[in-house]
Structure 1
Amino acid sequence: MNKKWEELNIFLHEDVKRAIKSFKFPTMTPVQAATIPLLLGKKDVAAQAVTGSGKTLAFLIPLLELLKRHGDDDKWKPHQVAAIVISPTRELALQTHSVLAQFLKHIKGLTNVLLVGGNNVDDDIRNINENGCNIIICTPGRLEDLLTNQQHKLNLPQAVKTLELLILDEADRLLDLGFKSTIDNILNYLPKQRRTGLFSATQTKELEVLIRAGLRNPVSIMVTEKASQSTPIALQNFYITTKNNGKLATLLSFLEGENVQKALLFMPTCACVDYWSSVLPHLFNSVPTFAIHGKMKEKRKKVLADFKHAEKGLLICTDVLARGIDIPQVDWVVQWDPPASAAAFVHRIGRTARQGHQGSAVILLYESEEAYIDFIQRNQKVEVTNILNPATEEKVSSLLSKLREMQMADRDLFDKGTRAFVSHIRSYSKHECSLLLRVNELPLAAMAASYGLLQLPKMPELKNKDLSEFPVISDFDINKIAYKSKVREEQRKLKLDIFKETGKWPIKRRQIHNKQSEAWSKAKEQKEVKRLKRLKRKQAKKEQQKSEEVDRKRKSVLSEEEMAELAKDIALIKKLKKKKISSEEFDKEMGLE
């Protein structure tokens, strides 16, 4: 244990000291040295530090220390919530929970629970009731559900009244994923007299709003290893400009040439992960292939565990693994294309070169995308070096033939390839730097060839485009390609027979009302039109309510004549009480005769 950890140990509870001694922690990182004393001093903290800088320990150690200090005076009851750690993804929550579990082997008297989506809610409730919940590690959606849904018959809103510390881990990602309203709902249930720690790798305007709303006079900490860059010093960054139809050939040549042992391969969509994880094992078998994306639900946990324990492997994934995940021995991070946001670029490459270890990252770009490098260097302060394209024309041609052979042998691969290509093209509409990465400038026909497609899909983006770079197969009949699955093939044949008789392909009822495929640019325009219409309706409603309010006020305000008449009536009543006029005179004046 280094000197800084020893100095910190002087002030810690004996149980926490024992837990820290059992770990062989490396040198205390800057974010840990800056944050731990402040949280121990019961300050609210907003910490920004580069990815892989040890933020998890920076909040777990003070969390445990604060809870043990309180427990010495008044022991925590099993179902009192003392601390909550909110993570943006299941994988990050699971990772934090596993680190916490290692600490709790040496620290007694504290209960904990993991609450994430994908698990059965009833199991979570049963786990809380049986084992307690002093420390909750969770994703925001599941915690909000358990707090707000009264049908669960779980008195969690009452249990969180004893909360000492709230941690928002990867807070910028929480907002990126659209959890702002969820976080706001959760904060409404939590006591105001609490400590809050907010940890992130990047700073945004939305994050500043959350800091003002959720923290009280926070101490802001910004830890960077080097002022001129936002990534770890031990990380080397490269890019390769690929031929329009040679991205796959470039990827395989790179993996083989660099002798990659353990790597993450980031894809833009779930469909891309499905397709490439199905075909890459047949093209690159030097290391085992794994796959993870957001639609896999509970399977993700097992895949991630298998990859972590594997000596070598290639994990094909979406941005679900871009934040906070710590996987040992990852030597390379490979990006199939530019991510949707510049911040995501930094988070992706931050999966390697963690905790001072060496690591490398490479991004594959088309010839029309090379300007992205200048953008990322200016926007994110990341130095990226060019390396030559190792792919040859012979390799490009050979891979196209192999992919087409595989698709012809199984229609399922043909379907996956088409979906992957379409989703890849349409993912460009989500790019925040769409001025640089334009769909109109993409080599769409050549890209389709790199996916090994047997024919071009019918999609608006391909209309009026030069499709000469796509090698057309002569005398090709798509209906002759069969599924390997006998059940699916029988179903397809039945539908094909119906199509031949009626001229219409039978579709499921739920698909009848689905709109035809349209360009994402048009879909985006339609969404904007709908948004403006909703805004107009809201404004019209507000104007109507305002008008009704004015009418109500107008009706409630008496005219001068009515006021004079009222004053006259009051004067008559006073005269009657003082017997200055008789009842008959009063009735006559009031018009009651």
Structure 2
Amino acid sequence: MKTQNWKELESPLSDSVLKTIEELNFPYMTPVQAASIPLLLNGKDVAAEAVTGSGKTIAFLVPLLEILQKRSEKWKPTEIGAIIISPTRELAVQISEILQKFLNNIPGLKQVLLVGGTTIAIDADKIQAGANIIVATPGRLEDMLCNCKSINLIACVKSLEILILDEADRLLDLGFSATLDTILSYLPRLRRTGLFSATQTKELQQLIRAGLRNPTLITVKEKPNISTPSNLKNNYVIVSAEYKLSIMIDFIRHKGINLKYMIFLSTCACVDYFSHVIQTMLPSIQVFAIHGKMKSKRYKVFNDFRSTESGILICTDVMARGIDILEVDWVLQYDPPCSASSFVHRCGRTARIGNEGNALLFLLETEDAYVEFIKKNQKVDLQQIVLEPSIISYENCLKYMRNLQKQDRFLFDKANRAFVSYIQAYNKHECNLILRLKDIDLGKLAMGFGLLKMLRMPELKGKDTTNFEEEDIDINLLAYSDKQKEKSRLEKLKVFQNTGVWPKTQKRKCKQTEPWSETKKRKIEKQENRKRRKEKKLKQKMSANMTKKQKRKINEQDIEDLAKDIALIKKLKKKKVYF
């Protein structure tokens, strides 16, 4: 990946930036850095697409810092010169950590990290303490711009020199659309803008929305028609639904428990359940779990996994983008991702910055068409490997899963939720033309989850589940290990046995039951609908007033004409006029 030396740039870099680059041990620029940095330094807007792990963070941090340092006027304590927006808090924290290494050698500039998890007042205090660069997630930045009364952030960003959107394709997508539009409306138009992602948007309308004026489009690929790093080996394996987990466990044991693995699952409930199962089956290796609903715990788990020498991180696609974890040996995609672009981002958690890496996709026998789809849609070639299922491993795996549920009803609930969430997610899959729920043997799938009893749900109505082998057990006898929960369950069970009706649990009001971006989108839609209704009423009122005025005018004219006619008749009678 050697290209150009940092000292060979046309615009020489400052000593402080060069010193940090040397400390980070990046002697040469990667292709995306060599292409992007000179353009941003020369005042151009850039939309850069490069494979994962190619050094995009340094590609925008270096010119950002050079631009801020070269301003003739000294930056005021709360004058914001640069904003970096990323879609997830983990990525924002990671960018902030790398940026801080540069700022340690640049005493004149300070940064602030705005990612939620604290009150707006606390974040406002951070800015008042001094900040020239903001690293933020979209939701928190919008909150600070719109709802913060203790500091006027809108005034602070008037001198903005450069805006960076990291993982820009996701930020410009519908999920963040309304939020990003609000943020952009507060920022000055005369600025430099950089979009960076592994799967970049090239739609003109999207680039214009982001504020790019005549942008330079950069696409860096190591090989033509390949969108993943050349040192990444992409593999897939075809498995039967009931053997899927046992084959993965055997694979990890065979490759070695002293390696680092990332396992991607399709839903939060699947992460919750299988993390318990895998930890029980592989007790000698550390197992970490992360998904989007964990909120405050996420960063601690992420940091623990980054610092460990070996372990398994089980996660959803919340960890698929931009996250830089050193020495991830294998990325295991237990389920095909919900969007095709996420496939590339998942794979990109390994083989970063010139290191070698491996990825393995687990496909069911009915999902083999996905290989050709990914080849055409994402330009990724997958090599098939054959992993033979072991009946002994499968039986042990099933035994472990079912014993966990028998020991604690809490795991029984998790298993059922995981299965339901998987079915529902699969039914709504982006590639549901080739990944069809009706093609899957749902009995074998339920065995793969280790269910004790087959569930009743609309998606299973009329489906063949003959390959499911129920456990001979009364599920009412399964107890929670938590004494308080078990006491509550037994009370409800007693009511059910006496009345035949299970008492309803009083639902607590949830503060948030859907993604923040969707809530915001709905709120904006309601406001717009309300505005349209008001405008319609105003137009109707104005129209009615106009009609009344016209009627009034007509009536007055009629009266005037009538008076003239009467006067004329009187003259005619007195023979003062003749016809």
TM-score by length of 1: 0.86
1:201-236 deviation per Cα after TM superposition (whole angstroms, max 9, x unaligned): 213466852445521221111111111211110110
1:167-218 deviation per Cα after TM superposition (whole angstroms, max 9, x unaligned): 0110112234711110100011111111111112213466852445521221
Aligned residues: 543
Q: 2:497 aligns with which of 488, 497, 500?
A: 500
Q: 38-47 or 15-24: which moved more?
A: 15-24
- How far apart, CA to CA, are the structure 1 residues paired with 2:316 and 2:27? 30
Q: 2:547 maps to which residue? A: 555
Residue 3 of structure 1: how far off its partner (Å): 4.8
Q: 1:231 aligns with which of 228, 235, 243?
A: 228
Q: 2:573 maps to which residue? A: none
- How far apart, CA to CA, are the structure 2 residues paired with 1:206 and 1:546? 38
| 1:3–1:223 CA distance, 2 compared to 1 (3 A) | closer
Q: 2:73 maps to which residue? A: 74
Q: Which runs of 4+ in 1 moved over 6 A?
A: 540-547
Residue 253, structure 1, aligned to residue 250, structure 2: yes
Q: 2:380 maps to which residue? A: 382
Residue 546 of structure 1: how far off its partner (Å): 10
1:99-132 deviation per Cα after TM superposition (whole angstroms, max 9, x unaligned): 00111111111011000022333321222222x1
Q: 1:187 aligns with which of 184, 187, 209?
A: 184
Q: 1:49 maps to which residue? A: 50
Unaligned stretches of 5+ in structure 2? 510-521, 565-579
Q: 1:154 aligns with which of 151, 155, 160?
A: 151
For residues 357-396 of structure 1, the aligned pairs below 5 Å read 357-396=355-394
Quick one: which amino acid aligns to residue 339 of structure 2?
S
Q: Secondary structure at the match of 1:264?
A: strand
Q: 1:487 maps to which residue? A: 484
Residue 561 of structure 1: how far off its partner (Å): 8.8
> Is 1:265–1:334's contact at 8 Å kept on the other side of the alignment?
yes
Residue 63, structure 1, aligned to residue 64, structure 2: yes
- How far apart, CA to CA, are the structure 1 residues paired with 2:220 and 2:28? 16
Q: 1:127 maps to which residue? A: 126
Q: 1:289 aligns with which of 287, 290, 293?
A: 287
Residue 17 of structure 1: how far off its partner (Å): 2.7
Quick one: which amino acid aligns to residue 458 of structure 1?
R
- How far apart, CA to CA, are the structure 2 residues paired with 1:560 and 1:227? 77
- How far apart, CA to CA, are the structure 1 residues paired with 2:74 and 2:459? 64
- How far apart, CA to CA, are the structure 2 residues paired with 1:564 and 1:42? 68
Residue 2 of structure 1: how far off its partner (Å): 7.6
> Is 1:322–1:344's contact at 8 Å kept on the other side of the alignment?
yes
> Is 1:172–1:207's contact at 8 Å kept on the other side of the alignment?
no
| 1:398–1:17 CA distance, 2 compared to 1 (3 A) | closer
Q: Secondary structure at the match of 2:172?
A: helix
- How far apart, CA to CA, are the structure 2 residues paired with 1:470 and 1:57? 52
- How far apart, CA to CA, are the structure 1 residues paired with 2:455 and 2:174? 30
Q: 239-248 or 197-206: which moved more?
A: 197-206
For residues 114-513 of structure 1, the aligned pairs below 5 Å read 114-130=113-129, 132-150=130-148, 152-176=149-173, 178-204=175-201, 208-259=205-256, 261-474=259-472, 476-510=473-507
Quick one: which amino acid aligns to residue 293 of structure 1?
H
> Is 1:254–1:390's contact at 8 Å kept on the other side of the alignment?
no
- How far apart, CA to CA, are the structure 2 residues paired with 1:477 and 1:564? 90
> Is 2:223–2:230's contact at 8 Å kept on the other side of the alignment?
yes
Residue 14 of structure 1: how far off its partner (Å): 2.9
| 1:302–1:561 CA distance, 2 compared to 1 (3 A) | closer
| 1:12–1:279 CA distance, 2 compared to 1 (3 A) | same
Q: Secondary structure at the match of 2:266?
A: coil
Residue 387 of structure 1: how far off its partner (Å): 0.8
> Is 1:307–1:315's contact at 8 Å kept on the other side of the alignment?
yes
| 1:276–1:552 CA distance, 2 compared to 1 (3 A) | same
- How far apart, CA to CA, are the structure 2 residues paired with 1:29 and 1:138? 26
Residue 509 of structure 1: how far off its partner (Å): 2.8
Quick one: which amino acid aligns to residue 353 of structure 2?
Q
| 1:353–1:554 CA distance, 2 compared to 1 (3 A) | same
- How far apart, CA to CA, are the structure 2 residues paired with 1:94 and 1:133? 16
- How far apart, CA to CA, are the structure 1 residues paired with 2:395 and 2:150? 62
| 1:452–1:193 CA distance, 2 compared to 1 (3 A) | same
Unaligned stretches of 5+ in structure 1? 513-529, 573-593
- How far apart, CA to CA, are the structure 2 residues paired with 1:494 and 1:564? 83
Residue 550 of structure 1: how far off its partner (Å): 9.2
| 1:266–1:220 CA distance, 2 compared to 1 (3 A) | same
Q: 200-209 or 250-259: which moved more?
A: 200-209
Q: Report % sequence identity.
A: 51
TM-score by length of 2: 0.88
Quick one: which amino acid aligns to residue 275 of structure 1?
Y
Q: Secondary structure at the match of 2:288?
A: strand
> Is 1:9–1:17's contact at 8 Å kept on the other side of the alignment?
no
> Is 1:119–1:298's contact at 8 Å kept on the other side of the alignment?
no
Q: 2:109 maps to which residue? A: 110
- How far apart, CA to CA, are the structure 1 residues paired with 2:457 and 2:47? 46
1:385-409 deviation per Cα after TM superposition (whole angstroms, max 9, x unaligned): 1111232122212211221111101
Q: Secondary structure at the match of 2:256?
A: coil
Residue 450 of structure 1: how far off its partner (Å): 1.0
> Is 2:272–2:414's contact at 8 Å kept on the other side of the alignment?
yes
- How far apart, CA to CA, are the structure 1 residues paired with 2:174 and 2:256? 35
> Is 1:162–1:191's contact at 8 Å kept on the other side of the alignment?
yes
Q: Secondary structure at the match of 1:246?
A: helix
Q: 1:99 maps to which residue? A: 98
Quick one: which amino acid aligns to residue 444 of structure 1?
L
Quick one: which amino acid aligns to residue 73 of structure 2?
D
Q: Secondary structure at the match of 2:28?
A: coil
Quick one: which amino acid aligns to residue 14 of structure 2?
H
Quick one: which amino acid aligns to residue 154 of structure 1?
I
Quick one: which amino acid aligns to residue 507 of structure 1?
K
Residue 282 of structure 1: how far off its partner (Å): 1.0
Q: Secondary structure at the match of 1:263?
A: strand
> Is 2:117–2:296's contact at 8 Å kept on the other side of the alignment?
yes
Q: Secondary structure at the match of 2:476?
A: helix
Residue 428 of structure 1: how far off its partner (Å): 1.2
